[in-house]
Structure 1
Amino acid sequence: MKTRSAYLRSPWQCELREVDLPDDVPDGYALIRVEACGICGTDLSNAESQLEDWQPFGHEIAGVIEKLGTHAGGLKIGDKVVLESASYCGKCELCRSGRVDLCNKAPHFWNAGPSLGFSDYLLAPVCGIVPYEGMTPETACLAEPAGVAYDMVKTAEIEHGNRVCVIGPGPIGLMAIPIALRSGADQVVCIGRPGNRARLEAAAKLGAETLAADRPWTEYEELRGRFDRVLLTAPVQTIPEAIPLLAYGGILSYIGIGTGSGMIRFDANDFHYRKLQLRASFASPALYYPIVLKMLKSGAIPADTIISHRLPLNEIGRAMKLCQEDKGETVKVVVTP
Structure 2
Amino acid sequence: MNGIELELTASGVESRKNVGKELASVQIRSAYMKSPWECMLRKIDLPDQIPDKHVLIRVEACGICGTDLSNAEENMDDWQPFGHEIAGVVEKLGSHCEGLQVGDTVVLESAGFCGTCDLCRNGRVDLCNKAPHFWNAGPSMGFSDYMFAPACGVVRYDGLTPDAASLAEPAGVAYDMVKTADIQHGDRVCIIGPGPIGLMAIPIALRSGADKVVCVGRTRNHARLEAAAKLGAQVVASDRSIVEHAELHRQFDRVLVTAPVQMIPEAISLLAYGGIMSYIGIGSGSGMIQFDANDFHYRKLQLRASFASPALYYPIVLKMLKNGTIPADLIISHRMPLADIEKAMTLCKEDKGKTVKVVITP
TM-score, normalised relative to structure 2:
0.92
Post-superposition CA distance 1:225-281 (Å, at most 9, x none): 000000000100110000010000000000001222211110011001100000000
Conservation of the 8 A alpha-carbon contact between 1:6 and 1:57: yes
Q: Please show how residues 291-302 of structure 1 align to structure 2 within 5 Å.
A: 291-302=316-327
Conservation of the 8 A alpha-carbon contact between 2:58 and 2:145: yes
The residue matched to 2:102 in structure 1 has which SS? coil
Amino acid at match of 2:185: H
- The match for 1:22 is 47
Separation in structure 2 between the aligned mates of residue 84 and residue 131 of structure 1, nearest angstrom? 11
The residue matched to 2:308 in structure 1 has which SS? coil
Post-superposition CA distance 1:184-236 (Å, at most 9, x none): 00000000001010000000000000011121111111100000000000100
**1:24 to partner: Cα distance:** 1.9
* Structure 1, 312-321 or 210-219: larger mean CA deviation: 210-219
Identify the match of residue 141 of structure 2 among 105, 108, 116: 116
Same amino acid, percent of matched pairs = 76
Separation in structure 2 between the aligned mates of residue 248 and residue 213 of structure 1, nearest angstrom? 25
Conservation of the 8 A alpha-carbon contact between 2:70 and 2:284: no
Greater RCO, CA 8 A, separation 6+:
1
- The match for 2:176 is 151
Separation in structure 2 between the aligned mates of residue 214 and residue 106 of structure 1, nearest angstrom? 43
**Structure 1: runs of 5 or more not aligned:** none
**RMSD of aligned residue pairs (Cα, Å):** 0.6
**1:73 to partner: Cα distance:** 2.5
Amino acid at match of 2:242: W
Separation in structure 1 between the aligned mates of residue 239 and residue 102 of structure 2, nearest angstrom? 52
**1:52 to partner: Cα distance:** 1.5
TM-score, normalised relative to structure 1:
0.99
Q: Please show how residues 91-110 of structure 1 align to structure 2 within 5 Å.
A: 91-110=116-135
Conservation of the 8 A alpha-carbon contact between 1:73 and 1:127: no
- The match for 2:20 is none
Identify the match of residue 313 of structure 1 among 329, 338, 350: 338
What stretches of structure 1 move > 6 A for 4+ residues in a row? none
Q: Give the structure with higher Rg (CA).
A: 2
* Structure 1, 259-268 or 292-301: larger mean CA deviation: 259-268
Post-superposition CA distance 1:151-203 (Å, at most 9, x none): 00000000000000000000000000000000000000000001010000000
Q: Does 1:260 align with 2:275?
A: no
**Structure 2: runs of 5 or more not aligned:** 1-25
| Equivalent residues, number | 337
Q: Does 1:184 align with 2:209?
A: yes
Identify the match of residue 238 of structure 1 among 257, 263, 269: 263
Separation in structure 2 between the aligned mates of residue 83 and residue 169 of structure 1, nearest angstrom? 25
Separation in structure 2 between the aligned mates of residue 105 and residue 267 of structure 1, nearest angstrom? 37
The residue matched to 1:214 in structure 2 has which SS? coil
**1:105 to partner: Cα distance:** 0.3
Conservation of the 8 A alpha-carbon contact between 1:153 and 1:231: yes
